[in-house]
């Protein structure tokens, strides 16, 4: 399908109600950003995708529509709204393989109805299905798309709703709920209250460029964590049944032990660029670029992270013996690991990683590909149901 240039009247609502600065921020993919005379919005199932300026009007990717406009657009009108008040919501549920799912889901549905909320429920049937269901929900006009599951389900819904007028909500039903923890939500009851009486406001989103297992270049958004190296090998060695049976944190500890004993996930020669400058060229165990504070099922990996500060928090670990990894690991629960002699912690807008041999990569706890990789932040790119401002976004 050829891209088409649209007049202002045909620009979608979600684009028309963004200021130019916010739209430019949302479209700032790596080194390219549109000029005021060439505001470009790419609409596709997976969200915003980069396009070179010379491609305007001639995009050839299937499903992409190119919009150009040189007027100043109106401010976004969503911020501050009560999350699901007077709105239709779609709950996208990852049913997992557990007898407890029906009970947990039932009590959350009851709580939402007691709050007077209107919603419909759809169940995922396979990996990637949440993207399809959420995309359909956006097209059908649902004001809030709620990911009911773990961080993997949140990731899929994020990749469907970003750039749309719909807001993202989340309810915990998975092994890891670090997205909710990073928002300051620690229980299913709090999550239901936020959907009923919280507020919608913009948070940052991470954008990952990487190589998939077939060697193809890919892009994907992430909500909380991008990991290169050891953490991704731990994900690889965590069977889903173990993750759901033990819970995120305990399951991660068991898999960390399995990975270490098996001799997998060792340090590799890597180069790391921070905001375009080569900063590290040495053997590294892992590199993590976080948008949220928590990862790994409640580990306080990025204690200084905020989800609305326009920055990624990077934590990397140099090569070290396995026994010393065990001394580092307990400190992560308290967030005191960032002072460790073998670690480095810093904040950037963009970080790139290369390795002599391809190293595994995961996003929001899902193994997706390998290096080379680049991670950047899109400030305020996603509308999210959050606790009111008294409760700080992390």
pLDDT tens column, 87-109: 789 999 998 756 677 889 999 99
Q: What is the DSSP letter of 97?
A: T
Q: How far apart are the C-alpha atoms of 221 and 207, rounded to whole Å?
A: 4
Q: Is the pLDDT of residue 393 over 80?
A: no
Q: How many CB atoms lie within 10 A of CB 31?
A: 9
Ordered by where they begin, the domains of the chain are 8-69 (no CATH), 88-203 (3.40.50.10330), 205-379 (2.60.200.40)
pLDDT band at 6 (very low <50, low <70, confident <90, very high): very low
Annotated active-site residue in 288, 319, 366, 390: 366
pLDDT at 88: 86
pLDDT at 335: 80
- Residue range 228-238: mean pLDDT, rounded: 81
- Residue range 310-325: mean pLDDT, rounded: 89
Mean pLDDT of the chain: 77
Residue for token pair 């290369």:
354
pLDDT at 340: 84
Dump the DSSP string for 179-208. HHHHHT--SHHHHHHHHHH-EEEEEEEEEE
What percentage of residues in the chain have a pLDDT greater than 90?
56
pLDDT band at 86 (very low <50, low <70, confident <90, very high): low
Question: Which of 15 and 143 is assigned the larger pLDDT?
Answer: 143
Q: What is the DSSP letter of 142?
A: -
Q: Is the pLDDT of residue 345 over 80?
A: yes
pLDDT band at 162 (very low <50, low <70, confident <90, very high): very high
Q: How many CB atoms lie within 10 A of CB 342?
A: 16
- 366: nearest Cα among 156, 169, 216, 126: 156
Q: Are 301 and 225 in contact (CB under 8 A)?
A: yes
Convert the pLDDT of each residue in 33-64 to its tens digit. Answer: 333 333 333 333 233 333 333 333 333 333 33
DSSP E strands, 190-302:
199-211, 217-222, 225-229, 268-274, 277-290
pLDDT at 232: 85
Whether a cis peptide bond, with omega within 30° of 0, leads into 372 is: yes
Q: How far apart are the C-alpha atoms of 105 and 172, rounded to whole Å?
A: 9
Query: Rounded to 5, what percent of the chain is helix, strand, coil?
Result: 30, 30, 40
- Residue range 382-386: mean pLDDT, rounded: 97
Highest mean pLDDT pick, 73-77, 227-231, 266-270, 312-316: 312-316
Report the phi/psi class of residue 13: left, alpha or beta, with left for phi > 0 and alpha for psi in -120 to 50: alpha
Residue 366 designated active-site: yes
Q: Which helix (H) or strand (E) holds 133?
A: helix 129-139
Q: Which three-class secondary structure state does DSSP give residue 216?
A: coil
Q: How far apart are the C-alpha atoms of 136 and 235, rounded to whole Å?
A: 30
What's the pTM? Answer: 0.76
- Residue range 6-25: mean pLDDT, rounded: 35
């Amino acid at each position: 399908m050829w891209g088409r240039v649209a007049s202002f009247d045909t620009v979608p609502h979600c684009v028309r109600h963004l200021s130019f600065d916010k739209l430019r921020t949302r479209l700032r993919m790596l080194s390219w950003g549109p000029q005021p005379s060439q505001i470009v919005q790419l609409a596709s199932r997976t969200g915003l995708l980069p396009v070179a300026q010379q491609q305007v009007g001639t995009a050839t990717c299937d499903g992409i529509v190119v919009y150009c406009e040189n007027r100043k657009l109106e401010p976004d009108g969503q911020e501050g709204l009560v999350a699901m008040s007077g709105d239709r919501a779609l709950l996208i549920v990852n049913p997992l393989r557990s007898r407890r799912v029906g009970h947990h889901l039932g009590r959350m549905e009851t709580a939402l109805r007691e709050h007077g909320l209107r919603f419909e429920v759809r169940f995922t049937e396979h990996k990637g299905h949440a993207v399809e269901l959420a995309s359909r929900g956006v097209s059908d006009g649902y004001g809030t798309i709620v990911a009911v599951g773990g961080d993997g389900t949140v990731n899929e819904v994020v990749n469907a709703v970003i750039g749309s007028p719909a807001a993202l909500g989340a309810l915990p039903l998975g092994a890891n709920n670090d997205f909710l923890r990073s928002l300051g939500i620690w229980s299913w009851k709090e999550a239901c209250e936020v959907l009923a009486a919280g507020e919608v406001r913009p948070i940052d989103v991470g954008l990952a460029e990487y190589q998939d297992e077939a060697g193809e270049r890919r892009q994907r958004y992430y909500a909380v964590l991008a990991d290169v190296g050891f953490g991704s090998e731990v994900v690889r060695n965590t069977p889903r049944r173990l993750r759901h049976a033990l819970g995120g944190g305990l399951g991660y500890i068991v898999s960390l032990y399995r990975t270490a004993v098996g001799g997998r996930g060792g340090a590799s020669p890597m180069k790391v660029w921070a905001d375009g400058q080569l900063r590290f060229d040495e053997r590294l165990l892992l590199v993590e670029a976080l948008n949220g504070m928590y990862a790994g099922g409640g580990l306080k990996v990025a204690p200084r992270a905020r989800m609305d500060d326009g920055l990624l928090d990077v934590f990397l670990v140099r090569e070290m013996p396995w026994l010393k990894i065990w001394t580092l690991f307990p400190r992560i629960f308290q967030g005191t690991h960032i002072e460790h002699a073998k670690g480095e912690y810093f904040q950037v807008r963009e970080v790139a990683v290369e390795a002599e041999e391809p190293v595994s990569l995961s996003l929001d706890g899902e193994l997706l590909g390998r290096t080379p990789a680049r991670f950047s932040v899109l400030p305020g790119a996603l509308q999210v149901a959050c606790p009111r401002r008294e409760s700080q976004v992390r």
